Amino acid sequence: MSFQAASTALRALVDRQIVRERTGHGRNRISAAEEVIALLSRPFGQDADVALEGAQQTLADRQQ
């Protein structure tokens, strides 16, 4: 995949608020799908909705 194609795909995910850019840099950026990470890393047996709500609250706290 070319750099341009990857950048376009990543921009589409950022625009849809699926992925967030974490560094604030123009180069060497790091992006993450934090809600997906929270769902995949939740304790065994924990309800997915609880994990998702926790991830969304954490993101809201960071934006304030």
pLDDT for 64 equals 66
pLDDT for 56 equals 77
- State how many domains the chain has: 2
Range of the domain at 55: 33-64
39 shares a domain with 28: no
Query: What is the mean pLDDT of each successive set of 10 residues along the chain, which is 64 residues long?
Result: 92 90 85 84 82 77 69
DSSP state of 2: -
pLDDT for 48 equals 81
pLDDT for 36 equals 82
37 shares a domain with 23: no
Residue 45's alpha-carbon distances to 22, 30, 40, 59, in angstroms, are 29, 30, 12, 23
pLDDT for 63 equals 65
54 with 41: CB under 8 angstroms? no
pLDDT for 58 equals 74
28 shares a domain with 3: yes
> Tokens 């769902």 identify what position?
39
